[in-house]
Structure 1
Amino acid sequence: MDDDRDVLASAARVRRGKGELKASVLAALGQAPGPVSAGWVRQHVDPALAHTTVATTLTRLEAASAVVRCRLGGTVVWSAVTDGAGLAAWRMRRVLEGESDRRAVLRCFVARLSPDEERWLRTRFTREEGARPGGRPAPHHG
């Protein structure tokens, strides 16, 4: 009985927050020497993870266009296309696209930013205004 409690307690300690495993996988891929296998990712993220957990995470990241999969010889290898910030931006965009009044959502979002975050955001838009047709700021990757 005590062994069962130890296992459950151990599992609770390693439980990750939402998106944490994806972010860890992206970070590992970002540090990889090139395209790498799911096994390589597992060893660099957490060797205790099941191979299927890593493979599922990579497949979900591929569906989000955050990683690409290809074959190198007989092995499936993976490469990062974006970083954690890019993945978060993709998620935010997906949520926004599901709303009927996007401007209201954006207003609420900005209203909940800290003063420093709001100032930074306003500065970015002011500095880049006119950088693209229609006054939309150019995408920034960094």
Structure 2
Amino acid sequence: MAALERRWLTRALLAGMAVALGSCASPPADYRPRYALITPAPGYGPGRAAQGAAVVPEACLSAEPAFLETAGPLLPPGCANAYNLAEMVERRSDLLHGRRLAPAPAAPTARAARRYIDGDRPRTPPAPPSAADVSTDQPGRGL
């Protein structure tokens, strides 16, 4: 009877440790900037309906900006970085959902691999003239 109780106690202890250690592991923080599509309310503007929408970093939508006593109110953490990334994209719609990738340019890689496998050496261009090859004694020819 004591051996059976010890076995169950050992199993319960191991299960409890597994649960405790499993809860310690958390996924890494997600630092990817996220963007929201903000549309103006109907009737916004001087007597007309809203014309367009804006893509805004979610980090900038925080109600409370960071505050330092020496510097005063600051942008929320991550807002400036996400804003700068948004300014660098080719298309604003890429911030909300990406585009399909184009096919990879495999031809140059395949040619290089074929040259390496076959042992072919690429042709080297002629070397540029050196300073010793250029004569300054003749008129109209010199540096």
Shorter-chain TM-score above 0.5: no
Larger proportion of helix? 1
With the length of structure 1 as denominator, give the TM-score of the two structures.
Answer: 0.27
Work out which structure has the larger RCO, using CA pairs closer than 8 Å and 6 or more positions apart in sequence.
1
Q: TM-score, length-normalised on structure 2?
A: 0.27
Larger Rg: 2
